[in-house]
Amino acid sequence: MSEASEIVGHFCTSDGWLSARCRHDARVIELLPEAVPDAGSWFLPAAVDLHVHGGGGHDAMEGEEAIRGMLAASAAGGTGALLATSVTAPFADIDAFIDAAERVMAAPDIGSATLLGVHLEGPFVNPGKLGAQPPHAVPLDPGQLETWLARPAVRVVTYAPELDPDNVVPMLADRHDVRVQIGHTLCRWAEARVALAAGAGTTHLWNAMSGASHRGGGAAVAALAYAEHAEIIMDGIHVERAAFEAARRAVPLLCGITDATAATGMADGHYRLGSLAVEKRGTRVVLSDGTLAGSCLTQRRALEVLREWDVDWADISRLTSTSPARWIGAEGLGQIAVGARAHWMELAPSPTDAALRPVAIWLDGRRHPFDEER
C-alpha cells in the first residue's frame, strides 16, 4: 500500500483509549486527537497468536498450501499474526514443516494473517505427558536442536526440562535469539525453576504439565511462582476462570493463545492434528478417548470469553497482542502507535445491546470485514 488513508475512531494505545484521526498506509503515520462519537469504530492491536496448529480444515504439518489455508482461516477468525506450530514428529517431517513455513514467509498472501515464524512443540518432550501429541517424543539431541534453532523461521521451541539436566537448551536458544518454553513435562518444580531462571517461558500453562500443589508441585506451580512468560488457552474449556485469574495475577507476560487446529472454523467432524485423527464435537476437539486435542477457538470467540470473565479491553489487548509480540520481539506489532504496522481488530457497538463486537480485521492498513459466522 503506497497511498496514505485516514480513519477516525477510538484506538487502544499503551496510554489507554485515544479518540483520534489515524493517517496510515501499511503503518501508522499519524494519530491526531479528535472528538469521536461513542457509536464510532473502536480499534485494538490485532492478536498475535504464538500457538496455532491449523484452521479452516488445514493442518500446519501438511505443507505450504495447508499453512496458507490456515493463515487465511486465522485472519477470518480475528488473528493478525501468528506462529505456525508443529506437533511432535520425526525429524524429517519437522524439517519439511520449517521449509514450507519459510516459503510462505518469503511470499505472503494479502488478506491472510502474517506468518511470523514457527513454534516447534517438541519432539524433545516427555513421552509420559504427550497429551494429544503424536507418539514421536525423543531424548534431547542438542546437535539437531541447534540445527533447527539456526533456521530463520524458528522463533519458539517447547521442551521438557527434565530431558535437559545440564540446562543447555536455554543457552543454545539464547545464542540464536530463539525463545524456549517448558511444556509437555513431568518435571519437579525445582527443575522448572532452573529453566525459568535461564529465560524459559511456559507453554499452555496448566495443560500437559506437572501441576500445582502445596507439596510435590511441578511445572505449573513453578510457573506461578517464577515465570516471566506463559501461554494460556482462552477457550474457557482448557482452563477455567479461577485458574486463568491465578495465572493473570502471577505471570507478568501472560499470553493468550488459541492452540487452534484444522477443525477451527469448520463443521463437526473428523480432522488431522499431525499424524493423529481428531474429532470436532461442538466447542471441543478431542481424540477418540475424549482427551482434548488442541482447540477450535478463534480470536473472535476468545474475546467473548474474556469479556464474560470481566477482563477489560486494555487487558485483552495486552493478553492477546502486546505481551505475545513483546515475548518474541515482533517488530511493529502489539501496539497502536506511530510507526507500528496497521494491524488492528475493529470493534463496533452491537445495534441490540451497544456492546462492542468484532466487525473486521485490518492487515497492513487494509480492512477485511468478518462474516457473521465465527
- The C-alpha atoms of residue 74 and residue 55 are separated, in whole angstroms, by 6
Burial class (CB within 10 angstroms; exposed 0-12, middle 13-18, buried 19+) of 107: exposed
364 is catalytic: no
Query: Is the peptide bond prior to 123 cis by the omega test (within 30 degrees of 0)?
Result: yes
DSSP per-residue string spanning 204-242: STTSSB----SSS-BHHHHHHHH-SEEEEE-SSSSS-HH
Q: DSSP label at 162?
A: G
How many residues make up the chain in this entry?
374
Which of 129, 121, 128, 57 has the alpha carbon at shortest distance from 93?
Answer: 121
Residue 32: Cβ within 10 Å count: 11
**Contacts for 131 with CB less than 8 Å, ≥ 6 apart:** 184, 207, 208, 291, 292, 293
The β-bridge relationship of strands 253-257 and 229-233 is parallel
Catalytic residue among 49, 164, 259, 364: 259
The angle, 0 to 180 degrees and rounded to 10, between the axes of the packed helices 168-175 and 142-149 is 30
Q: How far is CA 80 from the centre of its chain?
A: 10
Amino acid at residue number 21? R
**Cell 481428531 maps to which residue?**
278
Annotated catalytic residues are 259
